[in-house]
């Protein structure tokens, strides 16, 4: 029986590419998005590439929307074998330049959105005595970074949540892991990034640092460190199909090198037992 996969944030970028590639491999994929009006472009691309997707409305910031989406998948497919928590965005700017409202919104999507979705699928997975939960982190959770303190800390939170769930859910046959993408050439930087507004740009003491980071980022996008979504999604497929209980998957060699610098064994968690 083909695995049933629910992916959040599929209107563009890695979520969109992952949904198509996983469908091409024979999985039944439910591509979820906040606004189903966005499905038309995804549907057309999937058709052209020989993929067949199911679509479901899911806003990770809305408890009711999450519960309805999960129940809709179970009603149609009878089960959920894999949840990929892909939805998210990045808040940039020095800590001094972001408002508390902007910080709360970042955490509501990147952290609480993950928690909502995990809580929603757990009753089904526990009943099945099987399942895989894949949380999308970032290489920035391996290093931190200037002008990214809130985004980085939200991904550090996802890492801590995931590591804690590994042993918590293992008795129920549920596997939990992380994917840590590096720089992927999608529309994320244009569509899924926000800049702090607490200080006006004209009076921003970090403006020079911001301009330098923008320049370096532009250079990085044309370097070997950048990769396409098609390439990066190989890590999604590897995580779905893994049977070794590996904890972390990076999408490129640079991310793997960062992980090796931070951890003795980046592929495994550390038990407190």
8 A C-beta contact, residue 86 and residue 14: yes
Per annotation, catalytic residue among 27, 151, 206, 236: 151
Reported as type and span, the H/E element at residue 166 is: helix 149-169
User: Would you call 23 a catalytic residue per the annotation?
Assistant: no
CA–CA gap between residue 157 and residue 168 (Å, rounded): 17
User: Would you call 151 a catalytic residue per the annotation?
Assistant: yes
Dihedral-angle region of residue 7 (phi above 0 means left; psi in -120 to 50 means alpha; beta otherwise): beta
8 A C-beta contact, residue 113 and residue 87: yes
Q: Torsions phi, psi of 193, nearest 5?
A: -125, 140
CA–CA gap between residue 93 and residue 151 (Å, rounded): 9
Q: Which residue has the tokens 């042993």?
A: 167
Other CB atoms within a 10 A radius of the CB of residue 202 amount to: 6
- Max Cα separation, the chain? 59
Number of H helices, E strands in the chain: 12, 9
Per annotation, catalytic residue among 11, 12, 23, 154: 11
User: Would you call 127 a catalytic residue per the annotation?
Assistant: no
Per annotation, catalytic residue among 12, 32, 137, 149: 137
User: Would you call 155 a catalytic residue per the annotation?
Assistant: yes
Per annotation, catalytic residue among 148, 155, 206, 236: 155
Catalytic residues: 11, 137, 151, 155
């Amino acid at each position: 029986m083909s695995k049933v996969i629910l992916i959040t944030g599929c209107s563009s970028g890695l979520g969109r590419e992952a949904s198509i590639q996983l469908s091409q491999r024979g999985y039944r994929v439910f591509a979820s998005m906040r606004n189903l009006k966005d499905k038309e472009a995804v549907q057309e691309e999937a058709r052209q590439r020989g993929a067949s997707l199911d679509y479901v409305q899911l806003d990770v910031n809305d408890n009711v929307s999450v519960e309805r989406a999960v129940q809709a998948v179970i009603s149609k497919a009878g089960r959920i074998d894999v949840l990929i928590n892909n939805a998210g965005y990045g808040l940039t700017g020095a800590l001094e330049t972001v408002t508390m409202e902007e910080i709360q919104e970042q955490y509501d999507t990147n952290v609480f959105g993950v928690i909502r979705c995990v809580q929603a699928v757990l009753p089904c997975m526990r009943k099945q005595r099987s399942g895989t939960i894949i949380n999308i982190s970032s290489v920035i959770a391996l290093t931190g970074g200037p002008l990214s303190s809130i985004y980085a800390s939200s991904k550090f939170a996802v890492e801590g949540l995931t590591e804690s769930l590994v042993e918590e859910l293992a008795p129920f046959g549920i596997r939990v892991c992380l994917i840590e993408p590096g720089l992927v050439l999608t529309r994320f930087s244009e569509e899924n990034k926000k800049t702090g507004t607490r200080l006006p740009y004209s009076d921003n003491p970090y403006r020079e640092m911001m301009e330098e980071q923008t320049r370096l980022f532009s250079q990085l996008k044309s370097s070997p460190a950048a990769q396409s979504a098609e390439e990066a999604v190989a890590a999604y497929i590897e995580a779905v199909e893994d049977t070794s209980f590996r904890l972390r998957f990076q999408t490129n060699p640079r991310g793997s090198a960062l992980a090796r610098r931070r951890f003795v064994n980046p592929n495994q968690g550390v038990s407190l037992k």
